[in-house]
Every structure is written in structure tokens, then in C-alpha cells.
């Protein structure tokens, strides 16, 4: 059985859990945030130093989208990525746009937030947040009017998983902020999730696989 080292609230960890659920692949979960030994094991398996880390036999992958590709190769049905070339490209655009926004949230709200007193910070931050809003606008345009349906094509897949977990993560930041400083720092950037993304995500929040994410 594969092992997934993860942080339960992380959108990157949650997306891999949903991908595994879609494929029907059982997995042993190890919480790297609560268990230092599990965190140390994950770091030994992956030089990236990021979570999640999937260990499947002698293969270890530490990037969520690399894990998606691995899962589609190992267990082709049902596919995470559409097989039709045009639809595949549309899914890639949605995923890359959502991940661009997530990367900016995390980078400017956590990793380099301590540099905010520097005189160059406002200009650099504002350019990055402009790219963040532009990326979210791409996803919002795709999500608008598609409540209850996949974002791309006719089947649930990578694009839906990535956007749903990102939206749930962002929506949960206010509740986490009082006890988890990075959540408040991300919110202080002042970027709002477009309503179309929130509405689309809410329409899928009752899926059994989504509800199961919070059971562990």
C-alpha cells in the first residue's frame, strides 16, 4: 500500500488525497505536522522539502502534480487529465492558473512576509498580487455558470480537484487565523477569491470524497 506524508489542511495534500480517492487507491496517511518522525521520513524520501510526499514501493514523489502524473500512468482509469488534446489543454490552463495564485499567496503571505518592511516591498508585492488576481480571473471565467458540473469536459478530474481544494483552503483561512499566524498574513494581502470560484466549489462540497477529507 502506498504511503502519503501530508499536512491535512494543505490544498496540495488534499488534492492528492482526492486524486487517490478518484482512482480508488487505498493509502496509508502519515501526518507530517503532528508527527516529527513522519516529517523526517518524508524529508528523507524527497529532496524537495515539500508536502505531500507519496511513497509507492521504490518510487517517491514530492510534488502534487508529479503525483497526479504518476497516478495516471500507474492507474489509467479513471483519468485525472482529459485524453482529448484540446480538453487536456483547457484543464492544464485551469490548474496552472490556480497554482500560480496559490504560489503567490504562500510566497508573499508566508515565506517572504518578513521582508514587508523593505522599501521595495510595496511595488514587488503589488505586481505579484496583480498576477495573482489575473490568474484567479482565468479560473473564475471557467467556473462561472458551471455549478454542479466539472470545470472542463464532462468528467471530474485534475482541474476540479485543484480548484476545489484551493477554494476550501482559502475559505478556511479566517477560522485558522487566530491560532495560525500565516493564515492571517495571507489574508492581509487583500486578495479576495472571486465569487464564481466560491460558488462552483460550494456546489461540489457535498461529494462523498470531499467530505471524507475531514474525517482524518
Per-residue pLDDT, 35: 80
Write the CATH number for 8: 3.40.30.10
Per-residue pLDDT, 43: 87
Same structural domain for residues 155 and 176? yes
Phi and psi at residue 206, to the nearest 5°: -90, 0
pLDDT in tens, 1-38: 999 999 999 999 999 999 999 999 999 999 887 888 88
**Residue 80, domain member (yes or no):** no
Same structural domain for residues 108 and 197? yes
Residue with the bigger pLDDT between 83 and 46: it is 83
Last residue of a domain, one of 74, 105, 124: 74
Per-residue pLDDT, 192: 95
Same structural domain for residues 58 and 98? no
Per-residue pLDDT, 46: 86
Q: pTM of the full predicted structure?
A: 0.95
Phi and psi at residue 177, to the nearest 5°: -55, -40
Whether residue 135 has pLDDT greater than 60: yes
* Mean of all residue pLDDT scores within the chain: 95
Same structural domain for residues 46 and 93? no
- Whether residue 78 is preceded by a cis peptide bond, meaning omega within 30 degrees of 0, is yes
Count of structural domains within the chain: 2
**Residue 154, domain member (yes or no):** yes
**Residue 159, domain member (yes or no):** yes
Neighbouring C-beta atoms of residue 118, cutoff 10 Å: 10
Burial of 109 (0-12, 13-18, 19+ CB in 10 A): buried
Cα 90 to Cα 81: distance, rounded to the nearest angstrom: 10
**Residue 46, domain member (yes or no):** yes
Burial of 160 (0-12, 13-18, 19+ CB in 10 A): buried
pLDDT in tens, 120-133: 999 999 999 999 99
3-state secondary structure of 176: helix
Range of the structural domain that residue 201 is part of: 85-215
Amino acid at each position: 500500500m502506498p504511503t502519503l506524508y501530508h499536512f491535512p489542511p494543505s490544498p496540495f495534500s488534499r488534492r492528492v488525497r482526492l486524486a487517490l480517492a478518484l482512482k480508488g487507491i487505498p493509502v496509508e496517511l502519515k501526518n507530517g505536522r503532528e508527527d516529527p518522525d513522519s516529517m523526517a521520513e518524508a524529508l528523507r524520501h524527497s529532496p524537495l522539502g515539500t508536502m505531500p510526499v507519496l511513497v509507492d514501493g521504490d518510487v517517491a514523489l514530492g510534488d502534487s502534480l508529479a503525483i497526479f502524473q504518476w497516478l495516471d500512468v500507474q492507474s489509467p482509469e479513471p483519468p485525472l487529465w482529459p485524453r482529448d488534446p484540446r480538453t487536456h489543454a483547457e484543464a492544464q490552463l485551469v490548474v496552472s492558473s490556480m497554482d500560480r495564485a496559490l504560489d503567490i499567496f504562500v510566497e508573499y503571505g508566508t515565506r517572504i512576509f518578513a521582508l514587508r518592511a523593505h522599501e521595495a516591498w510595496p511595488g514587488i508585492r503589488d505586481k505579484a498580487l496583480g498576477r495573482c488576481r489575473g490568474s484567479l480571473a482565468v479560473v473564475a471565467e471557467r467556473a462561472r455558470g458551471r455549478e454542479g458540473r466539472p470545470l472542463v469536459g464532462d468528467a471530474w478530474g485534475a482541474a476540479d480537484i485543484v480548484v476545489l481544494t484551493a477554494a476550501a483552503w482559502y475559505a478556511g483561512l479566517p477560522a485558522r487565523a487566530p491560532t495560525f499566524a500565516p493564515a492571517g498574513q495571507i489574508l492581509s494581502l487583500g486578495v479576495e477569491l472571486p465569487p464564481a470560484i466560491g460558488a462552483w466549489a460550494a456546489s461540489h462540497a457535498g461529494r462523498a470524497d470531499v467530505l471524507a477529507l475531514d474525517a482524518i
